[in-house]
Structure 1
């Protein structure tokens, strides 16, 4: 982008520029009627309230791990959304006691890395944080983030990026509500809020998923389906969850409802299938609790077999409504291929797949291992893993419901050995109890797959202090347009 003229680039001002994605043009800024903010992050006025606000001119010197611009103001370091290194900008700073909230007002001098966000809802939604950066800048940001975090352990390999960094999410869920005119709207909640943003397309969702929920929204009035209201507890349809098999083309639609009484459900299913014959299964999930959880416990199949199938690294997996399956299968193949390469399997090794989920990485590793034991607390996921093992004719993998750490401690107590532990914990990382059990079992090699490199660093330090050294580090961009980055670490016993 060229340098701004006198008025500068205003993130809250609608621009005429647009970018062509998949043959469709999307305006650079939101253009919803009646939205006076026209693209300003929706939290602005609520945050400021009656607080004092001043204007300041600042220069961005770097980025935080969350992609926010770092600036200095009155001796304080502030973090400003949508600001890039090297840019000068005008910001407003609201203060109340110790609370300081900066907001970008306009960019005076723009970075060469700045682009117009292709998504119309970017400044409202908050689900993506990097769309104002070009692809190279996003890659550099994520690489530098991992390089800095991993400094104590060595130099990471170049990040594995995605050729087409849009349309990748194979799972999406949409919420419904009423606008001021009492018309049904559908979309996503703004980040860290329950303000529903009416939208027709999310550029990182599978396009077919967005088409389906739009159809459902249009059908709701004729079927007298009211969107659920969290405040009053009234209404019927809470969410629509769509899962897409990127290879198989199979599609699951889950109607998350507040009551099991669904009048006209047969006709609804018939009409939805007529509009979208590509749908292979439809479920009704009942969630009548006042909770932020999307899915409830009660489930009923309305059409099809209740699951879909997809292929990953040459193996087929059954995916249920509740089962965890990697969101970006294109990048997952790169992630798993690299992880198994780091495991250096020759066909004889005993492998522990900790936090195994539905068995994806363990089953893929079984093709090159002697024996695989997958361990997972979630009993539904273990059931899926066993079914997936049978589907693929795998004879050398077993899956167990339980705590992975306790499983390894019991192995060590019996004098059993594991050559490799593959671990893929949640964002919170592993706890010391789990890590100590790994150390007690003493596998020759650990492959640590992380969706949160910050907690991965903490865990790696513990393992290094207890006899392991880091042999390889590989970041993978699993979630383009967002600040999230996954990272794989290969660790071996010091004696090796």
Structure 2
């Protein structure tokens, strides 16, 4: 997945100075681990009749799932085991009840030459990263093979674009808060597939400054007698802290997600936080009083600063609000956008439709080489951000509209208007047939499909290929090092009528 060498692991461990023994956990290759519910699949929750059986078994790993889990055979069943690698022999604990079987790694007997000790102390508890037990070459190979398999019907993908230093890359992070058994305030991330908070001081893929701010807020909560929100009882005040960092500008936004608009000691809390971190440029209070898994609520108030931060991407400046979508890895985003613009084959005359345009990032980048850019986005706030970003950068050949991109393109086709290129960057769920059929009706010469979920991308590409397009390029980009996620760009060209 990455080009990081072994020195990178040592460099990161030294940089983050994780020497506190109370946080050290045993890895599976060391013969044990705690909090197994956060590893691999969750424990069995939907059980049939009969007693649960738990047995230990020795297995061999034959391959990996697209979630990075090891594939093993046991009593005629194919099982998935987190943190197991191809070619490894291991002891696993298998729990079965009725039709439900769950396998968890106990210890690795014969380790792969590609296995490494994870740089993160919390790796086997958290679940936010899934590949840190693999070296850089194995991670890269896993992602490349995943894309190759998904895109096999369309052609051979290019070599994945990796990241030289695949840590500290996230420009957005959020921490949740709660109480431990001793009723002490803890902060960290949720264990995988749960709402159980893993108390942690740092996340190695977060910006380090964001984690420092989170630790400060945890300490301030104690001195201000501020209680964390409890999802079960509905009591408490602070739910989450969201931090956004401008990697180029250095500007920092802190969003305090609270359960009530009544914030006692608000001014003193903000003053104390600013005194500890004068680098913070804006602080907001977001009220989320609903029983929901969504982090942000609808009500928002600026407590300090202008309420947004600014950052630079591909030579353009962008205003970023608390709710706006902005790619989390700016170093890799510049590689992603450069490749997407290259695939669009712009000469300065083309009309480009930027569907799902968000705050206008890729459309404004494309405007530098296009004749005209039309951005369409359903989210009204994002469209407002896109218009402001266009003005900020002095872009004269881009216009942004609020609405459904598919309907917008059908209307364009109905009026006899043309588009030379459609750039689409949908959510993880991909597009739907209504949108894809609108692309077919508009008949752009080229479609550049940017996706954070190559599974739904391949599905949508199949529709476009059936309806007059052929695939001329596929480029995977590692936007999310240490995780199983991978971004992919595909270039589709309209066949001659």
For structure 1, the 5+ residue unaligned runs are: 1-17
The alpha carbon displacement at 1:224 in A equals 1.6
1:24 equivalenced with 2:8 (yes/no): no
Conserved? CA contact 1:187–1:200, under 8 Å:
yes
- Distance in 1 (CA, whole Å) between partners of 2:414 and 2:198 is 54
Conserved? CA contact 1:30–1:38, under 8 Å:
no
Conserved? CA contact 2:38–2:127, under 8 Å:
no
- Distance in 1 (CA, whole Å) between partners of 2:419 and 2:65 is 39
The alpha carbon displacement at 1:145 in A equals 0.6
Please state whether the residue corresponding to 1:433 is helix, strand or coil.
Answer: helix
Please state whether the residue corresponding to 2:23 is helix, strand or coil.
Answer: coil
Q: RMSD value over aligned CA atoms?
A: 1.8
- Distance in 2 (CA, whole Å) between partners of 1:396 and 1:189 is 44
The alpha carbon displacement at 1:314 in A equals 0.1
The alpha carbon displacement at 1:32 in A equals 6.4
- Distance in 1 (CA, whole Å) between partners of 2:462 and 2:11 is 45
Question: What is residue 366 of structure 1 aligned with on the other side?
Answer: 367
Conserved? CA contact 1:286–1:295, under 8 Å:
yes
Conserved? CA contact 1:128–1:482, under 8 Å:
yes
Question: What is residue 295 of structure 2 aligned with on the other side?
Answer: 294
Conserved? CA contact 1:362–1:372, under 8 Å:
yes
Question: What is residue 47 of structure 1 aligned with on the other side?
Answer: 43
1:153 equivalenced with 2:154 (yes/no): yes
Question: What is residue 234 of structure 1 aligned with on the other side?
Answer: 235
Please state whether the residue corresponding to 2:86 is helix, strand or coil.
Answer: coil
- CA deviation string 1:43-79 (max 9, x = no partner): 4798269620112111111111000001111111111
Mean CA deviation greater in 47-56 or 427-436: 47-56
1:387 equivalenced with 2:382 (yes/no): no
Aligned residues: 477
Question: What is residue 263 of structure 1 aligned with on the other side?
Answer: 264
- Distance in 2 (CA, whole Å) between partners of 1:241 and 1:193 is 19
Conserved? CA contact 2:38–2:192, under 8 Å:
no
Conserved? CA contact 1:239–1:256, under 8 Å:
yes
Conserved? CA contact 2:96–2:102, under 8 Å:
yes
Please state whether the residue corresponding to 2:18 is helix, strand or coil.
Answer: strand
Conserved? CA contact 2:38–2:193, under 8 Å:
no
Conserved? CA contact 1:29–1:123, under 8 Å:
no
- Distance in 1 (CA, whole Å) between partners of 2:72 and 2:282 is 51
Pick closer, same or farther for the CA change 1:46–1:365 going to 2, 3 Å: closer
Conserved? CA contact 1:347–1:370, under 8 Å:
yes
Conserved? CA contact 1:165–1:481, under 8 Å:
yes
Pick closer, same or farther for the CA change 1:83–1:349 going to 2, 3 Å: same
The alpha carbon displacement at 1:93 in A equals 1.1
The alpha carbon displacement at 1:25 in A equals 3.7
Please state whether the residue corresponding to 1:249 is helix, strand or coil.
Answer: coil
Pick closer, same or farther for the CA change 1:100–1:385 going to 2, 3 Å: same
- Distance in 2 (CA, whole Å) between partners of 1:331 and 1:350 is 26
- CA deviation string 1:11-54 (max 9, x = no partner): xxxxxxx9441523437998369xxx744533479826962011
Question: What is residue 421 of structure 2 aligned with on the other side?
Answer: 420
Please state whether the residue corresponding to 1:42 is helix, strand or coil.
Answer: helix
- Distance in 2 (CA, whole Å) between partners of 1:206 and 1:172 is 8
Please state whether the residue corresponding to 1:416 is helix, strand or coil.
Answer: coil
- Distance in 2 (CA, whole Å) between partners of 1:27 and 1:137 is 27
Q: How does 1:2-41 map to 2 (within 5 A)?
A: 19-21=10-12, 23-26=15-18, 31=23, 38-41=33-36
Conserved? CA contact 2:24–2:121, under 8 Å:
no
1:481 equivalenced with 2:489 (yes/no): no
Please state whether the residue corresponding to 1:333 is helix, strand or coil.
Answer: helix
Conserved? CA contact 2:42–2:193, under 8 Å:
no
Q: How does 1:62-211 map to 2 (within 5 A)?
A: 62-211=63-212
- CA deviation string 1:357-387 (max 9, x = no partner): 0000000000000000000000010000000
Conserved? CA contact 1:412–1:440, under 8 Å:
yes
The alpha carbon displacement at 1:413 in A equals 0.3
The alpha carbon displacement at 1:221 in A equals 1.4
Question: What is residue 339 of structure 1 aligned with on the other side?
Answer: 340
- Distance in 1 (CA, whole Å) between partners of 2:351 and 2:285 is 41
- Distance in 2 (CA, whole Å) between partners of 1:461 and 1:64 is 22
- Distance in 2 (CA, whole Å) between partners of 1:424 and 1:433 is 16
- CA deviation string 1:260-293 (max 9, x = no partner): 1111111111111111000000001111111111
Conserved? CA contact 1:28–1:118, under 8 Å:
no
